[in-house]
Amino acid sequence: MDYIYVIAGLLALFFGGEGLVRGSVGIARRLAISPLLIGLTVVGFGTSTPELLVSVEAAWRGVPDIAIGNIVGSNIANILLIVGVTCLVWPIRVSGSTLRRDTAVMVAGAAALVPIFAMGELGRLPGLMLVIALAGYLIWAYIKPGEAVEEEDTTPPPAMLISGLWVLGGLVTLMFGARFLVEGSVNIARGYGISEAFIGLTIVAVGTSLPELATSVIAAFRRQSEIAIGNVVGSNIFNVLGILGVTAMIKPIPVADRFLTFDLPIMLCASLVLTALLLTQKVIGRGVGVVLVLAYVAYVWAAQG
């Protein structure tokens, strides 16, 4: 039964995230928001909704390792797995000048977790500071959205009502998916003696990252590199500043030592690698994609210890 819960939760997160993203992008296009800003904010936040619901659910259920592992693991999966797979589908064309601000925020957010995790608990005050930082970033991104480097989708956006229904349906589906995934994963971890941290860093993290994977791969097929890469960078920013912040404000989260000594350094290194690629390469090709995917496989193998 627990496996059925996990599978049902993963499917609900995938389809719910897809509906939320489709509706959010439709609304944003109706409001004439640029593609990069859509990827960094609307899509980035929309695809991060599963992480938010799962982390809050896990914190309330008294499984903090899943709450934190979900975020840290999702950010690692976003960079190594999702960017890697997206590059394999179609090489990503990027503009370093456009993404310089956003990659800096992503790295700064990851680095800010080091002293917070060192305290042994993510409390309400650090959570509030993370949320305030997110608000500042959103204002900054809205005022200076950056220049687009690719053409926008020329197909007419759906009506606002249709987009709104997609958003509502996606949110409802995501809520059920989060509950099923957390309940099934916790029971499986306890039944087989697997650590809740490992479950959060892998199964739950990849599950909540399915909307990011679907969005980036679809964007790659459509040659919309701005959406594909902006989705990953924006999602990582929202995961750290928004989701960890909101979760901690609702319920303070104790931080296990392994997150500070192993998983967070991996997340920070992956963020730096992605930043270097985006700022120095005009195209991230399939060779890099293979390396990133293999690096993720190595991380999962090492995380078992």
Domain 2-303: give its CATH architecture. Answer: Up-down Bundle (1.20)
Q: Residues 170-197: what's their mean pLDDT? A: 78
* Domain-wise residue ranges, the chain: 2-303
pLDDT for res 71: 93
Q: Residues 145-171: what's their mean pLDDT? A: 71
C-alpha triplet 42, 269, 293: angle, nearest 5°: 75
Q: Residues 255-278: what's their mean pLDDT? A: 94
The predicted model scores a pTM of: 0.81
122 φ/ψ angles, rounded to the nearest 5 degrees: -95, 100
CB of 264 closer than 8 Å to CB of 299: no
Lowest-confidence range among 97-106, 143-152, 203-212, 251-260? Answer: 143-152
Give the whole-angstrom CA distance, residue 209 versus residue 193: 25
Q: What is the dihedral of CA 222, 226, 232, 233, to 10 degrees?
A: 180
With 50 as the cut, is the pLDDT of residue 150 above it? no
pLDDT for res 48: 72
Return the biggest CA–CA distance within the chain: 52
With 90 as the cut, is the pLDDT of residue 230 above it? no
Q: How confident is the model at residue 98 (pLDDT cuts 50, 70, 90)?
A: low
Kindly report the average pLDDT of the chain as a whole number: 83
pLDDT for res 97: 56
C-alpha triplet 215, 186, 238: angle, nearest 5°: 35
User: Per-residue pLDDT tens for 44-95?
Assistant: 666 677 778 888 888 888 888 989 999 999 999 999 999 999 899 888 887 6
Spell out the long-range contacts of 57-63 with Cβ–Cβ below 8 A and sequence spacing 24 or more.
57/178, 57/179, 57/182, 58/182, 58/186, 58/200, 58/204, 59/247, 59/250, 59/251, 59/253, 60/250, 60/251, 61/182, 61/186, 63/182, 63/186, 63/196, 63/200
Strand partners, 295: none
